[in-house]
């Protein structure tokens, strides 16, 4: 209800309306007034509920208390063949993600015909697989995203990027890729030509692989990989966080304290 409508109704109802005594004592009249009052309350609450549904979802019954809660493992512990096959395909997988992000960004900036001419001017052959980058990433991924077990990861600070209109780059992905490269190299070197088990410490480090495969980090430069919510602006991050769904904010401790203060101020 708008303010103008509320003003008109309040003006009309400023003075009590006289009801004939015969009508007042009839039970049908009292029941009708009572039902009308009850329905008004229900409809008002329903309207308010619909207005805030997008930013008020119930908390998950199981919160993140341990690292492995963030994502479903790609290979269960002890499945050596699955783990080794995954590590050998890791380079191709992350390269396909990088290439997909590159193509996605180029299409946002340039016309396809312009890019073809640019390749030809440099004496290069225009890639024919630019339309298959989504399929390439998904075919190389260990599995599909599980909406019931995989959290959406947000390594983005709201306050630090408040003056920008596009999502800024974050070193979280780079750090993960670097660590996963080291883990893959160490395990594959130790398992040449074969191995019966993988060290428990290395198995713990392999959990970092599950944060990038399947892709769990939404970004405006990668599009809708793994059916994640699209993020285009900083307020999309804030909106996704206050829904209280399977979303994890990943920041340094000092940045996290800033965000806590921000949400305490704006969402008391």
pLDDT in tens, 156-197: 766 555 444 455 556 788 888 999 999 999 999 888 877 778
Whether 61 shows a pLDDT value over 80: the answer reads no
User: Which residues, 6+ apart, have CB-to-CB distance to 258 below 8 Å?
Assistant: 157, 159, 160
Name which of 57-61, 162-166, 250-254, 256-260 the model is least confident about: 162-166
Q: How many CA atoms lie less than 13 Å away from 263 in the CB half-sphere?
A: 17
Report percent pLDDT > 70 for the chain: 63
Per the CB < 8 A criterion, the answer to whether 243 and 171 are in contact is no
Position with higher pLDDT, 264 vs 190: 190
Q: How far is CA 56 from the centre of its chain?
A: 15
pLDDT of the residue at 92: 93
**pLDDT level of residue 247 (50, 70, 90 thresholds):** confident
13-28 pLDDT, tens digit per residue, is 555 666 666 666 677 7
Position with higher pLDDT, 123 vs 160: 123
66-112 pLDDT, tens digit per residue, is 777 888 888 876 688 888 899 999 999 999 988 888 888 888 788 88
Can you tell me the mean pLDDT for 218-234? Answer: 68
pLDDT of the residue at 7: 46
**pLDDT level of residue 53 (50, 70, 90 thresholds):** very low
Per the CB < 8 A criterion, the answer to whether 202 and 189 are in contact is no
**pLDDT level of residue 45 (50, 70, 90 thresholds):** low
In whole numbers, what is the pLDDT of the chain averaged over residues?
74
Can you tell me the mean pLDDT for 29-56? Answer: 59
User: Which residues, 6+ apart, have CB-to-CB distance to 203 below 8 Å?
Assistant: 77
What residues are paired with 223 via a beta bridge? 219
pLDDT of the residue at 165: 43
Helix axes 133-140, 90-109, angle to 10 degrees: 160
**pLDDT level of residue 54 (50, 70, 90 thresholds):** very low
Domain segments of the chain: what residues?
A: 3-55, 67-266
pLDDT of the residue at 99: 87
Can you tell me the mean pLDDT for 235-243? Answer: 70
Residue with tokens 């991050």: 237
Check whether the bond before 214 is cis (ω within 30° of 0).
yes
pLDDT of the residue at 222: 72
Nearest partner of 97 among 246, 222, 231, 190, judged by Cα = 222
Check whether the bond before 193 is cis (ω within 30° of 0).
yes
152-154 vs 247-249, strand pairing mode: parallel
Q: What are the C-alpha distances in Å from 259 to residues 9, 159, 253, 265?
A: 43, 7, 10, 10
pLDDT of the residue at 162: 42
pLDDT of the residue at 145: 84
């Amino acid at each position: 209800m708008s303010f103008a409508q509320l003003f008109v109704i309040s003006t009309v109802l400023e003075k009590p309306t006289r009801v004939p005594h015969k009508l007042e004592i009839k039970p049908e009249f009292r029941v009708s007034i009572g039902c009308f009052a009850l329905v008004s309350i229900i409809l008002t609450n329903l309207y308010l509920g619909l207005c805030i549904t997008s930013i008020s979802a119930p908390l998950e019954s199981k919160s993140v208390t341990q690292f492995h809660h963030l994502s479903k493992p790609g290979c269960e512990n002890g499945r050596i063949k699955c783990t080794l096959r995954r590590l050998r395909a890791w380079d191709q997988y992350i390269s396909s993600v990088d290439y997909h992000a590159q193509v996605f960004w180029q299409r946002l900036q340039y016309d396809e015909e312009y890019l073809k001419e640019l390749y030809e001017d440099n004496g290069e052959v225009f890639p024919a697989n630019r339309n298959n980058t989504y399929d390439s990433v998904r075919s190389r991924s260990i599995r599909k995203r599980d909406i019931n077990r995989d959290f959406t990861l947000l390594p983005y600070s709201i306050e630090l990027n408040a003056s920008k209109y596009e999502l800024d780059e974050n070193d979280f992905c780079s750090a993960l890729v670097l660590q996963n490269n080291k883990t893959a190299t160490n395990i594959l070197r130790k398992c040449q030509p074969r191995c019966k088990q993988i060290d428990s410490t290395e198995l713990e480090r392999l959990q970092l692989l599950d944060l990038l495969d399947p892709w769990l980090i939404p970004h405006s430069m990668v599009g809708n990989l793994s059916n994640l919510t699209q993020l285009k602006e900083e307020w999309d991050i804030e909106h996704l966080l206050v829904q209280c769904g399977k979303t994890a904010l990943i920041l340094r401790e000092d940045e996290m304290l800033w965000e806590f203060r921000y949400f305490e101020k704006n969402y008391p």
